[in-house]
Amino acid sequence: MTSRDRRSVVHEAITLPLLLWTVAMVAGARIGADGALRFVPPPLMSLVFSTLLVAVLVQSRAIAVSRLLAPGYTLLENVSGAVLLAALLLAGAQVFHLLTPERGIFNVFGNVLFLALLLNTYVTGVDRRRLLGALGVVFGSALVLKFVILDGLAVEGSTMGRRLLAAAVEGVTLGALGIEPHPDSMGYLAFAVVLLFMLALWSLPSAYDEAAR
């Protein structure tokens, strides 16, 4: 085994799973207005989104399942690959959950948007570079919508944005719309989670790496 192969084994068996499990744990954390910290498991819809994401990653060759699971591998090697896939699935679910508004009409809008984008990407088919670029745009836009725009609307005070929103949805409360204020620390936490998750997706063992080897 060459030094490059050893580094690849360490990365796929230790470094990458630890990174994904960290993303899953941190993305599931919620900081309340009083500073209390709690952990929230992902809902079923987020698990569906994450499953679709894994399918899109496989289709775009951004992840090579044959490098993780294969009949010719030892039991330890297959278990290591299964742990990595499980970490990817859970991390993706927690990221989708973190970036989706908690309830109300914006929760429905976010879920429909994520579902449409994932299905469209799977049907049309894209390569690894375009897929990762599109995911970066989608996650970044969802983060800005939830933790910048909606949080800005939830701030007390008669701002222009709140007046326009109230005029557009007269008779509907901000709570019914799914607009709930978050502490600033949640926005920074979400930003760090998205960066770590994109780093993990970029460093997945891809079919392109396998072909180069």
16-35 pLDDT per residue, tens: 999 999 999 999 999 877 77
Closest-CA residue to 91 (of 99, 80, 103): 99
pLDDT of 2: 57
Q: Cβ of 72: how many Cβ atoms within 10 Å?
A: 6
Tell me: the pLDDT tens digits for 174-192? 445 556 778 888 999 999 9
For residue 201, give the amino acid letter.
L
Q: What percent of the chain has pLDDT above 70?
A: 80
Closest-CA residue to 87 (of 15, 24, 13): 24
Three-state DSSP state, 23:
helix
Question: How far apart (Å, rounded) are the C-alpha atoms in residues 50 and 73?
Answer: 26
Question: How far apart (Å, rounded) are the C-alpha atoms in residues 39 and 27?
Answer: 9
More confidently predicted of 13 and 48:
48
Mean pLDDT on 123-152: 89
Cβ–Cβ under 8 Å, residues 201 and 133: no
Q: Where are the domains of the chain?
A: 3-212
Tell me: the pLDDT tens digits for 52-96? 999 999 999 999 888 888 888 889 889 999 999 999 999 999 999
Mean pLDDT, rounded, of the chain: 83
Cβ–Cβ under 8 Å, residues 30 and 174: no
pLDDT of 6: 65
For residue 64, give the amino acid letter.
A
